Structure 1
Amino acid sequence: MRILIVEDSLTQAVDLRRRLEGLGHEVVVAHDGREAWERLEKRPEGLVISDWMMPEMSGLELCRKIRSEIKSPYVYLILLTAKTHRHERLQGLQAGADDFLGKPIDNVELDVALRSARRILDAQEALEARARELERANQALASQATTDEPSGLKNAIGFRHSLVAAFRQALDDGLPLSLIEIELIPSGAPESTPSADWNTLARRCGEILRSEARSCDEPGRLGERRFGLIVPGLADDEALMVGDALRSRFEDEVATLVSSATYAGVASMSSGEPPESAESLTAACEVALLSARREAASRIALVHCSSSVQAASLVGP
């Protein structure tokens, strides 16, 4: 183990260091509590053996500071003391000490204390490793729960979370925000385009969206044949141009393979009179998509979404 000795007596520090190194441990020495704390701030040690009575900062003060400010990794604290009264030991335990060694230090007691420290530190290390493993597993599960596997994009749940976050960010920054949705509507009977084909094509759709998106944009797959793109910082005409470029690529590279027509809806909000919620932007985009489908010649529509007005305007290809 690597052990920090905190001892203001040079003679006792040298003696304890010699004993610990003789047992195969790596040892560093601080000559008072303040020096020890400065070392621990830079590199927390697993085991600290500290004298109780010291200038600058006592062993009790050092214990309290370690327990209040170092949460991980765990620091095992042994106090060196001639204090033997019960209330004094209780005071040390309340400050955060794990164990005590009387002065002068007995070799057998030292060996037992070190073995106890090793067991606790090993158990603590195993717990922390398990906690890290569980955290990674939880993150992986959370990612799976919000990711569409075929396309590699956010699924409807993950996309909605991203939209809510983008909506709040747009309000905080006073910037516009747009939502684009692309939908492929089969020209023939639904059974003529089996799900397996759409899952394969979803990968291509994901590639298109990622290639067209900026680093700040967020693409997603909202349904089997519907895809979305959150576009921060763009409103109305600029967002409409992005939406029409996406619709054209979907039309050329995907829709022809499965006999589908491609429609796009764009909902845009400005900083001047934003809607009440991200759900309002979603509803406005749905209106735009329906408008685009009614006007088959254009296949794209824009809805400006505000707190008081939702006006749809059709834009030709």
Structure 2
Amino acid sequence: MNSQNTQVVLVDDDPAMLRILAVWLKKSGYQVQTFSDPREALASIEELPPDFLITDWEMPHMNGLELCHRVRELKLSHYIYTIFLTVKSTPTEMIEGLEIGADDFLSKPIQQGELLARVRAGARIIELERRLGQLARTDYLTGLMTQRVFYEAIAKEWARVQRNRAPLSCVMMDIDYFKKVNDVHGHPAGDAVLRAVAELFHRNTRASDVPCRYGGEEFCVLLPETTEEQAAQWTERIRRQLAAIEVRTENALIQVTGSFGVASRADDTDRPETLVDQADQALLCAKQTGRDRVVRFQDIRAGAGARCAVGGPQALLVDLTARQVMSPIAHFLNEKDTIGHATEFMLRYRVNSTCVVDAEGRLVGIVSEKDLLTAMVSLDNWRQPIRDVLKTNVITY
């Protein structure tokens, strides 16, 4: 913790004591405010919380114990490390101070070296606590906010927009077929993809925006002062940039796409959780209608654009004919194809298993993702023909 950025509030009704303590601290680089009246100090702390409060125990109007108690009752942005200056030294008095919220004590007469040493020790504790707080607030892998912190942020933003009727939008995003990235390329590759997506959000969000890793391969972004149309335009730019990203791993170059749902606060949006749920419904529609696209919740509600309805997945069956879901094409592999070729084939056509035929087109078995993963322990196996790993105990109808 840099002393030049460390704010200290000194409170003592003795002007001489205030002056000498302030001189010692300022010479060491600390930013110091002095108060002879604890009530003025309390008002200043509430407006701009310092890092340290160093206060005398016995003072008129309000003693150090009451000042410390009042400070601990405030809802501040960070914890204030509190040091008492006192002639009191009995165990009972020390316990009383600790119970009220004191962190440390300095016995009078004050020695310059001891004062600075205790402040430095307190600074180390403050730094550790802030690091722990930062770890608790951010996702360790991506550096984005966690879901818990996201909901804290949206609650505060919701209260603001309720007052001034400002627009507020939410974007939900899911990486398409992310499980296959992990299954085929391994979890380190999946982690690299997650970090690449997070970096995309870092580069394209404002200071007022709130991007978070919502869970797994799902991300969420809160966009204050943004209409649904503006949010959809922003999201479409993100979608295109994501599709152009190439994540390089030791053995492969990975490209992914994403599905996005966009929703904006309307007059009938009763709470922040409803806004997030509407964005999630739009995301579900994007996934159901082909993925790698942006869907707006208002389009679903109006019945325009995407073939989705707020009512649920069964709405997709409306006006759907057999010709639209049946294909005359049958995908298959040749038994001489390599494991590497088969893996690429399954990723391209997004299938979990496929039939295998011989040179004359006769069915000889089936190969699945599981079979390929088992065989891909060594890179040498990528050139092995799939006839060595396929299953021949196939039931046909």
Q: TM-score, normalised by structure 2?
A: 0.48
Alpha-carbon distance between aligned partners in 1 of 2:306 and 2:206, rounded to the nearest angstrom: 23
Answer yes or no: is the 8 Å Cα contact 1:156–1:221 preserved in 2: yes
Report how far residue 246 of structure 1 moved. 1.0
Paired residue secondary structure (1:154): coil
1:155 corresponds in structure 2 to 146
1:292 corresponds in structure 2 to 286
Answer yes or no: is the 8 Å Cα contact 2:259–2:291 preserved in 1: no
Per-residue deviation, residues 241-297 of structure 1 (Å, max 9, x unmatched)? 011111111111158953543211101114xx1522111111111100011112227
1:74 corresponds in structure 2 to 84
Residue type matched to 2:294 in 1? I
Paired residue secondary structure (1:216): coil
Point out where structure 2 has 5 or more consecutive residues left out of the alignment.
1-11, 22-33, 42-52, 69-81, 89-105, 308-397
Alpha-carbon distance between aligned partners in 2 of 1:292 and 1:269, rounded to the nearest angstrom: 20
1:64 corresponds in structure 2 to 60
Larger-gyration structure (1/2)? 1
Paired residue secondary structure (1:249): helix
Report how far residue 210 of structure 1 moved. 1.6
Residue type matched to 2:258 in 1? T
Per-residue deviation, residues 121-141 of structure 1 (Å, max 9, x unmatched)? 999988876666544433322
Alpha-carbon distance between aligned partners in 2 of 1:255 and 1:263, rounded to the nearest angstrom: 18
Report how far residue 145 of structure 1 moved. 1.6
2:210 paired with 1:218: yes
Alpha-carbon distance between aligned partners in 2 of 1:165 and 1:245, rounded to the nearest angstrom: 27
1:264 corresponds in structure 2 to 260
Alpha-carbon distance between aligned partners in 1 of 2:176 and 2:111, rounded to the nearest angstrom: 63
Answer yes or no: is the 8 Å Cα contact 1:74–1:121 preserved in 2: no
2:158 corresponds in structure 1 to 167
Answer yes or no: is the 8 Å Cα contact 2:196–2:247 preserved in 1: no
Alpha-carbon distance between aligned partners in 1 of 2:113 and 2:67, rounded to the nearest angstrom: 18
2:172 corresponds in structure 1 to 181
1:59 corresponds in structure 2 to none
Alpha-carbon distance between aligned partners in 2 of 1:75 and 1:223, rounded to the nearest angstrom: 48
2:361 corresponds in structure 1 to none
2:224 corresponds in structure 1 to 232
Answer yes or no: is the 8 Å Cα contact 2:245–2:255 preserved in 1: no
Residue type matched to 1:228 in 2? C
Count matched residues. 234
Alpha-carbon distance between aligned partners in 1 of 2:283 and 2:35, rounded to the nearest angstrom: 63
Alpha-carbon distance between aligned partners in 2 of 1:195 and 1:158, rounded to the nearest angstrom: 26
CA separation of 1:219/1:170 partners in 2, compared to 1, >3 Å: closer, same or farther?
Answer: same
Alpha-carbon distance between aligned partners in 2 of 1:263 and 1:282, rounded to the nearest angstrom: 15
Residue type matched to 2:173 in 1? I
2:296 corresponds in structure 1 to 302
> What are the within-5 Å matches in structure 2 for residues 104-253 of structure 1?
117-118=108-109, 133-186=124-177, 189=180, 191-253=183-245
Alpha-carbon distance between aligned partners in 2 of 1:155 and 1:221, rounded to the nearest angstrom: 6
Paired residue secondary structure (2:202): helix
1:283 corresponds in structure 2 to 277
Report how far residue 179 of structure 1 moved. 0.7
Answer yes or no: is the 8 Å Cα contact 1:153–1:219 preserved in 2: yes
- Percent of aligned positions with the same letter in both sequences? 16
Residue type matched to 1:180 in 2? V
Alpha-carbon distance between aligned partners in 2 of 1:142 and 1:291, rounded to the nearest angstrom: 37
Alpha-carbon distance between aligned partners in 1 of 2:87 and 2:256, rounded to the nearest angstrom: 70
Q: TM-score, normalised by structure 1?
A: 0.58
CA separation of 1:312/1:277 partners in 2, compared to 1, >3 Å: closer, same or farther?
Answer: farther
CA separation of 1:45/1:255 partners in 2, compared to 1, >3 Å: closer, same or farther?
Answer: closer
1:53 corresponds in structure 2 to none
1:82 corresponds in structure 2 to none
Paired residue secondary structure (2:215): coil
Answer yes or no: is the 8 Å Cα contact 2:258–2:291 preserved in 1: no
Report how far residue 202 of structure 1 moved. 2.4
Answer yes or no: is the 8 Å Cα contact 1:267–1:282 preserved in 2: yes
2:351 corresponds in structure 1 to none
Report how far residue 313 of structure 1 moved. 5.0
Paired residue secondary structure (2:144): coil
